[in-house]
Amino acid sequence: MAELNETPSGNRTHIAFFGLRNAGKSTLVNALTGQEIAIVSDVAGTTTDPVSKAMEILPLGPCLITDTAGLDDEGPLGEERVRRSLEVLEKTDVAVWVASDGDAGSAEEMRFDAACRARNVPVLKYRRGDSVEGLKAKIAGVKLAEAPRPLVADLVAPGDVVACVCPIDESAPKGRLILPQQQVVRELLDAGCAALVCQPAQLKAVLDRSGGVRFVVTDSQAFGEVARAVPPDVPLTSFSIVFARAKGDLAAYCAGAEAMKRLKDGDLVLIAEGCTHHRQCNDIGTVKLPKWLQAHAGCSLRFEFASGNSFPDDLSRFALVVQCGGCMLTRRAVQARISRCREAGVPIVNYGIAIAACHGIHASPDTCMVVRQPSL
């Protein structure tokens, strides 16, 4: 139960430790966290996969600390370890290069510095034996390139009322709301607003009794039903779309929605989720979205699925990428995926915007609200 009360990893500052084998990365991570989260040994290559630990560094706040394998690892297996370590950079807010007395200025360090510059990731240098508290102070003082963005707080004023539509179906976790719904409701409360939470069938009665709402935010799966219940003069959006606004690129996603119309028989579509969860029989990513996309495009499509931190290296195979809202991903990680799609010339769309388009509803890249067809 403790995990339910922790800050989500997507809202934490990600701090990752890099260096050569036996540079002292794991020892430093254990000292910084005050826990033995990484195995320490004199044997080179003890750390084989990235290992993460959630903690807080004041005044920076909630962080995710990640230890990585040495970037000088060798052989086919070693190359895979290096690749996985460098993948961590895609979601890293602050990188720490750990060096021993004999490996400062190595070729690996210079290549690493160049990779960080290309991604606009700040790098702190730590030499084995330096002050851990001094490093902690330096980390806390870093000005982050990717500052957190609000979900809805800048769209409301104190006293506003917002209706939040949260369907409870077979996909809903038992006894709680899903993370995007929790975060939007909490942000509304922090902004001094009233959040009216209901299911789709209750929405019309809630709106009739409310005396007026600033806007309605719904689970994307209920767009069709909710759009019919919301008066034309009341703005409407979805949890996934407000996450797209905060972490992604609405203009790129809206262009991806247009590309959905150009899909043709046999095209390969990547559906990527930032979390790993138990798949339900009517799962949104693997069942509902493929069905809606094929109906919208009017053709038979092929699908490939990615979850968690995995994301294909070769995107040229795909005609479209459909990315989840990203509640478990940092803004930097989502932006990295968008950039890679842009470089590969592959359109990318967000879950909420894709689902809206499949229901004849179009997201506005300027306001994050949607435009509904008169028939809805």
pLDDT tens digits along 140-178:
888 776 666 899 999 999 999 999 999 987 666 677 888
**At 161, which amino acid appears?**
V
pLDDT tens digits along 315-369:
999 999 999 988 888 888 899 899 999 999 999 999 989 998 998 888 888 888 9
Q: Within a domain: residue 373? A: no
Is the per-residue pLDDT at 48 higher than 70? no
Q: Are 328 and 3 in contact (CB under 8 A)?
A: no
- pLDDT in the model for residue 18: 95
Domain boundary among 110, 140, 170: 140
Give the domain extent around 213.
Answer: 162-238
pTM of the predicted model as reported, rounded to 2 decimal places? 0.76
> 2: pLDDT confidence band, cut at 50, 70 and 90?
very low
**At 351, which amino acid appears?**
Y
Domain boundary among 198, 213, 238: 238
Sole residue written with tokens 């920076």: 60
Q: Within a domain: residue 112? A: yes
Total structural domains within the chain: 3
Identify whether residues 214 and 265 lie together within a single domain: no
Domain boundary among 76, 109, 140: 140
Q: Within a domain: residue 353? A: yes
Identify whether residues 116 and 246 lie together within a single domain: no
Q: Within a domain: residue 351? A: yes
Q: Are 89 and 95 in contact (CB under 8 A)?
A: yes
Identify whether residues 297 and 333 lie together within a single domain: yes
Q: Are 319 and 204 in contact (CB under 8 A)?
A: no
